Amino acid sequence: MSIIAARKQKTTAAQAAAETAAGEAAGESRETVGATGSAQAANDSAQAKAGTRGQVDIANVRKSFGATEVLKGVSLTVQPGGVAVIVGPSGSGKSTLLRTINHLEKVDGGYITIDGELVGYEVRGNKLHELREKDILKQRTNIGMVFQSFNLFPHLTALENVVEAPIVAQKRSKAEARKRGLELLDRVGLKDRADAYPRQLSGGQQQRVAIARALALDPKILLFDEPTSALDPELVNEVLDVIRELAKSGTTLIIVTHEMGFARDVADTVVFMDDGLIIESGSPQEIFANPREERTRSFFSKVIEPAFNI
């Protein structure tokens, strides 16, 4: 708890700086997700309160790999408790954008804040200095991530996978972490497989363990990088059902997916990306039924079967 208090102090300073910087980056179109007017006001007063934490602001983020510019100035706001689903053709920069949010990829330009606190950097003078590894790791405990290929630790059981980070990174007691771990496994419907190793589980079960593992740190934000792309079709729904349940819980979710039906169901905002830019964003009804941009329309005509009824 003392960690949160300390973070709050730091936040106010960073927030002020971030706002000045945001002013400078004006002119860039800002996309707002899941906006609930009152949330903004409540934001600074009661950040710790559930449901009002986990606002993500992405401001003019750029990223290149070698000569290829993957993100060409992306700005996006996701309100606390919002569910943003990012769709778009492969190679459009969706996954890279997701990975910049927990600083797994360093940005080349722009910045990202979570509840006003800069991710991966701190303000010193008029420069953003990259944080030390220790501070970055602490920030990451606020951001859970679920990977396409699960990335469970194969030498640890399901329960050991879930309790590893709380014990090692957050220094919680083993008994407490175990108790919480079993609760989380129960929540994803796998309490009876707590002692199974990942290789003894189906793909869908592995991904549900990975979700429980991400939840174990009580993150404000959960990032999903194509969570069902590596699954057999009949296993997709068990994972999507867990995510649907999370969407109601008040945790901010940012999901990259190719499951359009799921996106329509769960998202309060759908973001369409192509070629390193956000082409448009809006409610699922707007984006799927009446896309404004030609590129969006042509993408959906390719990925959504004709029979798919919107």
Partner 1 sequence: MSAIAPPATADTAPPTPDYSEYKLVPARHTWRWVGTVLVAAGVAAIAWSLVTNPRWEWGVVAQWFTAQSVVNGLVETLKLTAISGVLGFVLGFILALMRLSASPLLVSVSWTFSWIFRSTPLLVQLLLWYNLGYLYEKISLGIPFTDVRFFEAQTTTLISQFAAAVLGLTLNQAAYSAEIIRGGILSVDQGQLEAASALGIPAWKRSTRIVLPQAMRAILPNAFNEIIGLVKGTSIVYVLAYSELFYTVQVIYNRTQQVLPLLLVATLWYVVITSVLSVFQYYIERHFSKGALRTLPLTPLQKARKFFATHVASSPTKDAR
Pair 251, 54: CB distance under 8 Å: yes
Least Cβ distance, residue 273 to partner 1 (angstroms): 21
Structure tokens that stand for 270 in this block: 């759908």
* Residues 192 to 231 in contact with partner 1, rule: CB under 8 A: 197-200, 213-214, 217
- Residue 133 interacting with partner 1 (CB under 8 A): yes
- For residue 121, give the DSSP letter: E
Enumerate residues 6+ apart whose C-beta is below 8 A from 81: 34, 39, 51, 52, 54, 250, 251, 252
- Identify which range of 49-57, 123-131, 165-173, 271-279 contacts partner 1 by CB under 8 A: 165-173
Element (H or E) spanning 82, and its range? none
- Residue 135 interacting with partner 1 (CB under 8 A): no
Structure tokens that stand for 182 in this block: 């079993």
* Residues 81 to 110 in contact with partner 1, rule: CB under 8 A: 102, 104
Least Cβ distance, residue 151 to partner 1 (angstroms): 4
Side-chain-side CA neighbours of residue 118 (13 Å): 26
Q: How far is CA 126 from CA 17, 24, 60, in A?
A: 9, 12, 18
- Identify which range of 72-80, 83-91, 155-163, 242-250 contacts partner 1 by CB under 8 A: 155-163
- Residue 153 interacting with partner 1 (CB under 8 A): yes
Exactly one of 95, 96, 141, 205 binds partner 1 (CB under 8 A); that residue is 141
Tell me the one-letter amino acid at 298: S
Residue with smaller CB distance to partner 1, 154 or 261: 154
The total number of residues shown for the chain amounts to 310
Letters for 11-50 (x = contact with partner 1 by CB under 8 A, - = none) are ----------------------------------------
Side-chain-side CA neighbours of residue 271 (13 Å): 29
Residues in contact with partner 1 by the rule CB under 8 A:
102, 104, 133-134, 137-141, 143-145, 147, 149, 151-157, 164-165, 168-170, 197-200, 213-214, 217
